[in-house]
Amino acid sequence: MKPRYFPLYILILCFVSAEETKIDVSNYPRPTMYTVKRMGEITIDGMVNEAAWMVTDSITEFYQTQPNPGYTATERTVVRILYDEDYLYVSAILYDSEPEKIIIESLEQDFDSQSNDCFAIMLDTFNDDKSGYGFLFNPAGAIKDMYINNDGTSINRAWEGIVDAKTSINEYGWEIEMAFPLTSLRFNPSDAEQDWGINFLRRIRRKREDIYWSPIEPFEKLLTISKGGTLKGLKGIAPGRNLQVKPFAVGNNYSGENSSNQSDAGLDIKYSITPSLTLDATYNTDFSQVEADEERVNLTRFPLFFPEKRDFFLENASLFEFGDISNYLYRMAPHRYSRSFTMFHSRRIGLENGQQIPVTGGGRLSGKVGNFDVGYLNMATESMGDMPQTHFNVVRARGNILKKSNIGAIFIDRNSGGVERDHQSMGIDLNLSINKLLLYSYFAQTENPDTEGDNSAGRMVLAWRDAKWDLSAYYKKVGNAFNPKVGFIQRNNVGESFATVGYHKRYSKGPFLNVNPYVFVNQFDNLDGYLESRALKAGLDIQFMNGAMLFSGITRTDEVIKTPFSLYGAEVPADEYVFNNLSLYYRGDRTKFITINGNASIGGYFHGTRNSVGLSASIKRGYRFIVDIGMNKNVVKFPDATVNADVYTLKIKYNHSVKLLNKLYFQYNKADEILVTNFRMNLIHAPLSDLFLVYSNISDVNGDEKDNGMIALKFTKLFTL
């Protein structure tokens, strides 16, 4: 080539290389990477500077899922994997052209990954395109982990894995090194050479950019196991016995009517009977470190659902799920996971009418047998006051069919004080996912000696979901005698109909990331032959490019009240009512120094009006010190009475590091006139090993009753054998 053409040639090359590459994320072939056995020393310190890393395959091709699906990443990422007889090693160098703008929102375990820069890995160790592990890390080293089942349709967010991970931030971005003990991962040891499913996610928060090594569609996530690539090269590895023993010692001081000083000890054991079947056992179970429930005001005539917070019951909880919990909607609104019925709710074990009942112990067998997910739970609670000793048995089986579908059954038995058939319930469910068509169904029955009538319940859901449309409808019937005493249900003796149409519009630039208008109708017909209630709603959900969210809607409600009921002393008489309501909910950008959140519900309410306004602010000093202040005011005006039901909260967090976490929480419920105080310090002194200092107190502001308080010091230590 002649020299005079050389500058033009260079210009053309630069133009071609600078041109953005776009792929079809829905049809892109699944990529493959290779690993080799570690040949030199590796120090897990968050700096990828050991020579051992340089001999293995490195992957650098990442593609956006948002905001520009299919385009190459705007920042370079390099990932490598090594292994030996004991560990799987993963490193990532995450280059950033503006490292001073890296966003870290929290040091807490299970942090909000949407509000942080982060790096994540998915491991499908059985390479079955259905189950696996998910680990997410932010640049400060906080971890969020979970166990994934049924190709991401069932997620156990309470699962905790063992991993040694360190991060560092430098002038060209940030780095992370991880070591996963093979004894903490389940895989098939009979395969001489392992092929694992794998995928990587990097989130660059300030750009709203999510990039994947094995590309996925915008409405999918890292949890979509079947969309992962393949890791090859693992040879001669074994999972080991995977026996974990975790003893604990606790000292409690109780104040109030039953003041006392107590000390106790107990034991938790986890043992992998097979690589895919695990036994968990607990003795003299203690939950003193569990956070207090959030105070809530109930302005309905139905019970509220409070989630489980105890670690033992949270682990593998998704396996025992049965009821109105299928994710057939995927709009962004915060109420999308509200529950009206679940056959098994573990809060029924050891909690009775808000009172804690000591748990003697029990065990749980869970995992896979062939193509079936199986679970068996046996727990016993002690006798206390008028409550006799109670035994709980739950059996769950779920067979995986097709690609993302399953068919299953559940059986629950509760036996109190040796009485036969105190309670039994059973059900079968079928969940089909064929391309973008979803079908969820169940049929259930309960047996209670004190009830007669129709003791059955069933539901059928049909839905269509794709990148743009959200269409679904269902019908549910609940008999008058259906009562899952080891579960939760809001109302029975009804037939419920529901239908919704929603549209999703995604943007790659501008202020909006996702706009979702929708309409729905939800109707309850009493089985005695009259309309019980109907809600017609038109809504608009917006997700902004900066991470903020706005949910709005107008609802027309028809209510037929046959039996009067009370709301904090004000009576709602039997009558037919029609009223309208405007609702708004706003969640601000959580990466800002001050984040403002708000909600409002304004309009009619039975024969009066209801105006509810909530406002909260989160004030951050870095990512260690956070103050949350909240107020929720509810004013219900009836012709003959006014109800003021307000809740005020103050939450102070100081997290010194990812291993030392502190939280002080005050809640004042004006309607019930109680003040709840909760302090929790957690020192993670070794992997899955903790020292807790907890103080909890419930005060009657009027002084009519004594305070009920508790202070506990609890020490746990995990031994892996």
Kindly provide the b/e burial profile for residues 579-588, where b requires at least 16 CB atoms within 10 angstroms of the residue's own CB. Answer: bebebebbbb
Q: Token pair for residue 214?
A: 């094995």
Mean pLDDT of 298-302: 87
Q: What's the CA gap between 688 and 311, in Å, rounded?
A: 12
pLDDT tier at 418, thresholds 50, 70, 90: low
What is the DSSP pairing of strand 494-503 with strand 469-478? antiparallel
Residue with structure tokens 């169940």? 442
Of 597, 627, 602, 601, nearest to 615 by C-alpha is: 597
pLDDT of residue 503 exceeding 80, the answer is yes
Q: What's the CA gap between 692 and 686, in Å, rounded?
A: 13
pLDDT of residue 20 exceeding 70, the answer is no
* DSSP label of 172: T
pLDDT of residue 622 exceeding 90, the answer is no
pLDDT tier at 300, thresholds 50, 70, 90: confident
pLDDT of residue 328 exceeding 60, the answer is no
Mean pLDDT of 480-509: 93
Which of 33-37, 289-293, 511-515, 578-582 shows the lowest mean pLDDT across its residues? 289-293
- pLDDT of 642: 92
pLDDT of residue 282 exceeding 80, the answer is yes
- pLDDT of 275: 78
- pLDDT of 676: 93
Q: What's the CA gap between 121 and 142, in Å, rounded?
A: 14
Kindly provide the b/e burial profile for residues 290-322, where b requires at least 16 CB atoms within 10 angstroms of the residue's own CB. Answer: bebeebebebeeeeebeebebebbbbbbbbbbb
In this structure, CATH architecture of domain 22-235: Sandwich (2.60)
Residue with structure tokens 């006139």? 673
Mean pLDDT of 505-532: 93
Which tops the pLDDT comparison, 12 or 711?
711
Residue with structure tokens 């049965």? 322
- pLDDT of 379: 95
DSSP reduced 3-state for 386: coil
Of 503, 539, 533, nearest to 520 by C-alpha is: 539
**Using an 8 Å Cβ cutoff, are 163 and 193 in contact?**
no
- pLDDT of 12: 38
**Using an 8 Å Cβ cutoff, are 233 and 707 in contact?**
no
Query: Element (H or E) spanning 57, and its range?
Result: none
Instruction: Quote the strand ranges of 370-468, DSSP E.
Output: 372-381, 390-401, 405-416, 423-434, 437-447, 456-465
Q: What is the CA radius of gyration of the chain?
A: 27
137-191 pLDDT tens trace:
999 999 999 988 878 877 888 788 899 999 999 999 999 999 999 988 888 877 7
Neighbours of 450 (CB within 10 A): 8
Q: Token pair for residue 350?
A: 């050891």
Residue with structure tokens 């969640």? 587
Which of 176-190, 465-479, 628-642, 702-716 shows the lowest mean pLDDT across its residues? 702-716
pLDDT of residue 707 exceeding 90, the answer is no
pLDDT tier at 87, thresholds 50, 70, 90: very high
- pLDDT of 139: 97
Q: What percent of the chain lies above the pLDDT cut of 90? A: 63
Phi, psi (deg, nearest 5) at residue 16: -65, -45
Q: What's the CA gap between 150 and 131, in Å, rounded?
A: 6
Mean pLDDT of 432-450: 91
Q: What's the CA gap between 436 and 430, in Å, rounded?
A: 16
637-684 pLDDT tens trace:
999 899 998 999 999 999 999 999 999 999 999 888 899 999 999 999
List Cβ neighbours of 15 (8 Å cut-off, separation of 6 or more): none
pLDDT of residue 18 exceeding 50, the answer is no
Q: What's the CA gap between 301 and 566, in Å, rounded?
A: 8
Read off the pTM: 0.85
pLDDT of residue 10 exceeding 60, the answer is no
pLDDT of residue 333 exceeding 70, the answer is no
- pLDDT of 338: 58
- pLDDT of 289: 80
Instruction: Concatenate the DSSP letters of all residues of 254-318 into one string.
Output: EESTT-EEEEEEEEEEEEEEETTEEEEEEEEE--TTSPPPPP----SSSPPP-----HHHHTTGG
Phi, psi (deg, nearest 5) at residue 312: -60, -40
116-125 pLDDT tens trace:
999 999 999 9
Q: Across all residues in the chain, what is the average pLDDT?
A: 89
